[in-house]
Amino acid sequence: MTAQLGLGTYRCPDVAEAAVRAASRGADWVDTAPNYEGGRAEAALALVLAAYPDLRVSTKVGFVPPNARRIGLRAGVLSVDDAERGHCLAPGYISWQVARSKRMLGRVPDVVFLHNPEYDCQESEIADRLYVAFLALEEACSQRVISSYGLATWRGFSSGLFDVPALLELATKAGGPEHHLRAIQLPVSLVHLAVVAQAIDGHGPLVDALDAGLEVFASAPLHGGEIPGLVTRELTDLISPGSTPAQAALAVVASTTGVKRVLLSTGNPEHWTQAADTVGRPPLSPDVLRRVVDVLGT
């Protein structure tokens, strides 16, 4: 398949252990955030990243980890309101957090994603929020605190709050033609099939990202581990005869046009091996993907 398997750490109870297992089995990317594993994920990854220098890493800025709220308040980068709601994309906080992430990880992150910028945001406010955040991230890139940035969203694309052309326009406004917007991250799964259906028909965020040269990170491909228990034998055989339900579900995600990396959150070595085997196979045909969409709907 054209996609690669990467480690997502949102639901990993032991991020360092999961990262070592993934890296030792050929993973080249780990995705994390300051608020994962109770605010300990970035620090837990530092030794792993040092041991595997070819392992690339992305982190996020937006949600404020509980263990950083008091520090952020003392530093003057968080308001009391932002600290209480646990999310902030103010320029001062972005600059502070990306520098902190670099220190925690022990290296410059390859990508820093704006984490759910739609959080507690009205439609009329989103463009200004993104533009101001992009300005801060472009500054971080110019100072070599980060290498590039992206946007990780749960419902921003599906709700129509923004699209890839709008993001590119804002990035160009913030950073010029040589801006550093490089990636998007969004849920793609048998539960979130609308983006798959759009890609089959040649439009939507996955196709727009591909055309723009942005990398697409597919998050929650098994919807928090719920999907394998929902997939019937008939659906598994329709997708990939002889596979497990989890492998069939991952095959759909990894075969979708535009998807560059599939982020799987697991510390189970058997699950990782099965997933890597699935992603390493030839992609499913558009006809199979279309039949899956016809059966399940969007």
Q: What is the pLDDT of residues 248-291, one digit of tens each?
A: 999 999 999 999 999 999 888 888 999 999 999 999 999 999 99
List for the chain the helix, strand, coil content (%; round to 5): 50, 15, 35
In whole angstroms, what is the distance from residue 147 CA to residue 113 CA? 11
Query: Do the Cβ atoms of 222 and 244 come closer than 8 Å?
Result: no
The DSSP bridge pattern shows strands 149-152 and 181-187 to be: parallel
Q: 7 near 30, Cβ under 8 Å?
A: yes
Match 């694309």 to its residue by tokens: 157
Q: What is the Cα–Cα distance from 205 to 187, expressed in whole angstroms?
A: 11
**Domain count of the fold of the chain:** 1
| pLDDT for residue 1 is more than 70 | no
Looking at residue 242, the DSSP 8-state letter turns out to be: T
**Confidence at residue 210, expressed as pLDDT on a 0 to 100 scale:** 97
Q: What is the pTM of this model?
A: 0.96
Full residue range of the structural domain in which residue 97 is found: 4-296
> Rounded distance, CA 249 to CA 168, Å?
31
- What is the reported pLDDT for 268? 87
Structure tokens at 88: 């902030």
176 falls in which pLDDT band (50, 70, 90)? Answer: very high
CATH code for position 286: 3.20.20.100
Give dist(CA 209, CA 59) in Å, integer: 20
